Structure 1
Amino acid sequence: MLTPQKPPLALIIAAPRGFCAGVDRAIQIVELAIEKFGAPVYVRHEIVHNRFVVDMLRDKGAVFVEELDEVPDGLPVVFSAHGVPKAVPDKATERGLAFFDATCPLVSKVHREAERQVEAGRHILFIGHVGHPEVIGTFGQVPDGAMSLVETVADAEGFVPVDPDNLAFLTQTTLSMDDTAEVVSVLKRRFPGIQGPRGEDICYATSNRQSAVKAIAHACDALLVIGAPNSSNSVRLVEVAEREGTRARLIQRAAELDWAFLDGVTTLGITAGASAPEVLVRELVDRLAERFVITEQEVETKRETISFKLPRGLEIAA
């Protein structure tokens, strides 16, 4: 009896993809804290938005909690890569907890810019998604009422400032470049004197991954993004592909793959959000190889060489 022949499937794999320098650093901080202090080490919120990574660190001795009150006295705690309000490290200091801040340095840059704009007497319009940890952390850097959230073009059109001559805008680091540009365009049209950030707020990794998807989308019948549904940068990659006219879907693991999604697909694009490790990309390729004869092509649009220093107290452990 003849075995049915597998159909061919060409894979176009975007690069850059997967882990960014901020995620690498955050994971390393948790691992080094466990190595230095022993388990358990507490982590406030998911260190990054990826279940595989969280489970891996939990197996090593990390305990994930929502609030600082859940951390027992005398045990170390790590703050997630998304950043925290100032009140959190202040409270940890009051309790005498050893803490390590895994906030991505590019998010910290936004925090410092927020402080500078408020000190200059400007009200900040922060472009971001309500409820996202990065948004909560940034709002927590300045006094209540010093910042207003703008999510959409409609929000930008409808915002009524108390003092239109003293405004600034900042953005969440993981937004869609195209959507954010539209919102910023409206703000600049309505408020010509509005002050923007000194440099681009949307981080290099978010921008690079979106550009890589744009580079391959038109050559693909469909595209899969590996990432978590609560990962802003991963969700944006799906939106970027769809905006380019390509069917796209977000999956966390290869096991979530819906084979029906591949009906009629002969060329499939693959990428991964900045919190998704490369092992999950290989896992997906292996699963696809169960039903298809695979050919792989990687399309690299930019080489990433950025790395970030570790916090004091963990450099020696490294």
Structure 2
Amino acid sequence: MKIFLANPRGFCAGVRRSIDCVNFAMNFHKPVYVKHEIVHNTHVVEGFRKKGINFIEKISDVPDGSILIFSAHGVSRSIFLEAKNRNSLSILDATCPLVKKIHTRIHRASKNSQDVILIGDPKHPEIQGSVGHYERNERSKIHVVNSLHDIDHINLRNTEDLIFSTQTTLSIDHTKLMIKKLISKFPKVEGPSSSEICYATRNRQEALRELSKKSNTILVVGSKNSSNSNSLLKLSRKLGKEGFLIDTIKEIEKISFNRSLPIGLTAGASTPSSMIFEVIKRLNRIGFDEIQEISPFKKEKMIFRFPRFEN
């Protein structure tokens, strides 16, 4: 009874950096507050809560003299400025640098009065933060689309001067379809110089394709609110495999495995290795005692510079 492990899997450089920010902040013996969940993983968030870290949604809930950390998903320009204007706060911006690049591009487009079409989930904090970097004006606006149907209902004043951007954690296949339709409807739309799908999201989806060649059932270790984990789940099912999203060990008990067939195991970019090991240990107990790691689809060497305190 065999388990095939996808490679790469688990933490990406942006997630690791944001978690390092929280660990670093705890050394200063001040109250530490994080705007939103630092990453979308219940085990990471609950682990920090037990250490006294506070997760909030309103900057007004942060007491003077505290350390405030912005999550990996990023925040709007107005929220950033609200925090900066609180001179008593020490701010660590843990926004993923790849998301920061999108913020810069969107802000520049608003200054140039260009419409922006942003592909992604309007309820996701990354998209909400990105939208908040578009300065409103009377000549142009930003539009969020999450489906091919949404594209049909975009109303533009100027179809000659516009750009599109994407959420970093989306399905590659779905995003390609969205971009194809955008270009078909708005031939003059200008895309980014390279894909804005995060390198880690892309690598994990490509590694899953390799995993699917050897596995009948695929387990994706990740939390329900993790966009990149859900993208992996959708891809496994699109590839014709039985796919399950595993956030707790108990969820393994609900699965009826065909024990004569191998299973594949992967994890979203916000999933800690400790959770992956726990899942493997539980699978060992029910008989999956042979583990084989698939050769790396791509080695990840990305490292992001650590942010400095602001204020």
Q: Find the partner of 1:34 among 26, 45, 54.
A: 26
The aligned counterpart of 2:44 is: 53
Letter in 2 for 1:135: I
2:128 paired with 1:136: yes
Q: Find the partner of 1:301 among 278, 297, 302.
A: 297
Give deviations 1:186-223, integer Å, cap 9, x for gaps.
Answer: 01111111010122110000000000111111321100
Q: Which moved more, 1:189-198 or 1:305-314?
A: 305-314
Letter in 2 for 1:64: F
Letter in 1 for 2:86: R
In 2: Cα distance, 1:213 partner to 1:261 partner: 21
- Any gaps of 5 or more consecutive residues in structure 2? none
Give deviations 1:224-259, integer Å, cap 9, x for gaps.
Answer: 001111110000000011111111010112232134
In 1: Cα distance, 2:247 partner to 2:145 partner: 29
Q: Which moved more, 1:66-75 or 1:129-138?
A: 66-75
TM-score, normalised on structure 2? 0.94
2:184 paired with 1:189: yes
Give deviations 1:36-81, integer Å, cap 9, x for gaps.
Answer: x214211111000011111222223311112111111111110110
In 2: Cα distance, 1:234 partner to 1:110 partner: 21
The CA deviation at 1:136 is 0.5
Q: Secondary structure at the match of 2:285?
A: coil
TM-score, normalised on structure 1? 0.92
Give deviations 1:75-111, integer Å, cap 9, x for gaps.
Answer: 1110110000011121112221111110000000100
Contact 1:169 1:197 in 2 (8 A): yes
Contact 1:223 1:249 in 2 (8 A): yes
Contact 2:107 2:135 in 1 (8 A): no
Q: Find the partner of 1:127 among 91, 107, 119.
A: 119
In 2: Cα distance, 1:212 partner to 1:98 partner: 39
2:104 paired with 1:109: no
The CA deviation at 1:156 is 1.7
The aligned counterpart of 1:4 is: none
Letter in 1 for 2:79: V
RMSD: 1.4
The aligned counterpart of 1:5 is: none
Letter in 2 for 1:310: F
Q: Find the partner of 2:205 among 210, 226, 229.
A: 210
In 1: Cα distance, 2:260 partner to 2:178 partner: 35
Contact 1:13 1:270 in 2 (8 A): yes
- Any gaps of 5 or more consecutive residues in structure 1? 1-8
* Overall identity of the aligned pairs, in %: 38
**Residues paired across the two proteins, number:** 305
Q: Find the partner of 2:172 among 155, 169, 177.
A: 177
> Following superposition of structure 1 onto structure 2, how do residues 145-160 of structure 1 map, counting pairs within 5 Å?
146-160=141-155
In 2: Cα distance, 1:242 partner to 1:234 partner: 13
